[in-house]
């Protein structure tokens, strides 16, 4: 029997707009295929040992929470996180969790919070918050049965910019994405997937959830080939309804 070990970092501080739903989606869609799932919550003061986990999740938080955990993430967990990323560990990071993998977050009041620099990206706060439902397109999800479109909900003042080694996760069809300027949404580097989408991201986008589970199982088990299909009628209905409502014709 296959087992997936998921680590939820700072679940008590970084969990906006139901970000925990991403963990639930990973767990349920794996368990429905008979895969065993363990979830470990780690927060301030806890030691992070990346080799114990197959997927690491970081949700979103306000500037306030991001400041509270700054020292812990830099001093206690930082070197482990950076090393795990370089060794191809799978990370899913949303909004505030995404920002803290970058070099810094400068609030709109001008206060700079230095972060991990695990990915070459940086964030600057603006006065106007970027709020609303989003639709964007992920090229790597496209197949005969999937158009690669993802739906989510964003609420951030931070504008994120990517350095050359970091690719956008997707292309904005509706919404602001990384900065409201260049149509990029989120970031990808090695096996790190970052997005501004709360809402939660994975329950509304089962194809992306299965992509992450498949990646983790292939990385862990040499005999794993693919996940069998589930009946996703309701998930797809939710997904398609939001696309129609938010993006209309495009
Ligand atoms: N504090 C960050 C911002 O406003 C992140 C917010 C969030 O995680 N939703 O940009």
**Structural domains present in the chain:** 3-247 (3.40.50.880)
Helix axes 233-247, 206-220, angle to 10 degrees: 130
CB–CB of 7/46 below 8 Å? no
198 catalytically annotated: yes
CA nearest ligand 1 atom 3, residue: 156
Q: Which residues pair with 88 in a beta bridge?
A: none
The pLDDT, as a whole number, for residue 93 is 98
How many whole angstroms separate alpha carbon 144 and alpha carbon 69? 43
Ligand 1, atom nearest to 59 Cα? 8
The pLDDT, as a whole number, for residue 231 is 96
pLDDT in tens, 8-46: 999 999 988 889 999 999 999 999 999 999 999 999 999
CA nearest ligand 1 atom 5, residue: 96
- Pocket test of ligand 1: the residue of 60, 94, 122, 178 to mutate, having most ligand atoms within 8 Å of its CB, is 60
pLDDT in tens, 119-159: 999 999 999 999 999 999 999 999 998 999 999 999 999 99
CB–CB of 167/70 below 8 Å? no
Mean pLDDT over 185-201 rounds to 96
CA 60 – ligand 1 centroid, Å: 6
């Amino acid at each position: 029997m296959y087992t997936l070990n998921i680590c939820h970092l700072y679940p008590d501080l970084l969990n906006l707009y139901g970000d925990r739903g991403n963990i639930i989606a990973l767990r349920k869609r794996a368990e429905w295929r008979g895969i065993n799932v363990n979830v470990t919550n780690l927060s301030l003061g806890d030691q992070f040992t990346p080799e114990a986990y197959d997927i690491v999740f970081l949700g979103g938080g306000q500037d306030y929470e991001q400041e509270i955990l700054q020292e812990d993430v830099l001093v206690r967990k930082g070197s482990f996180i950076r090393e795990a990323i370089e060794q191809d560990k799978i990370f899913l990071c949303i909004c505030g969790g995404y920002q803290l993998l970058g070099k810094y977050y400068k609030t709109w009041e001008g206060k700079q919070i230095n972060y991990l620099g695990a990915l070459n990206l940086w964030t600057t706060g603006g006065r106007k918050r970027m709020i609303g439902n989003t639709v964007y397109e992920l090229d790597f999800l496209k197949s005969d049965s999937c158009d690669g479109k993802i739906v989510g909900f964003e609420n951030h003042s931070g504008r994120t910019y990517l350095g050359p080694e970091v690719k956008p996760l997707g292309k904005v069809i509706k919404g602001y994405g990384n900065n409201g300027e260049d149509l990029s949404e989120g970031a990808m580097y090695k096996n790190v997937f970052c997005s501004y989408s709360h809402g939660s991201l994975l329950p509304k986008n089962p194809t992306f959830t299965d992509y992450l589970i498949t990646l983790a199982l292939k990385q862990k088990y040499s005999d794993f080939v693919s996940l069998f299909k589930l009946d996703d009628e309701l998930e797809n209905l939710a997904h398609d309804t939001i696309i129609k409502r938010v993006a209309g014709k495009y």
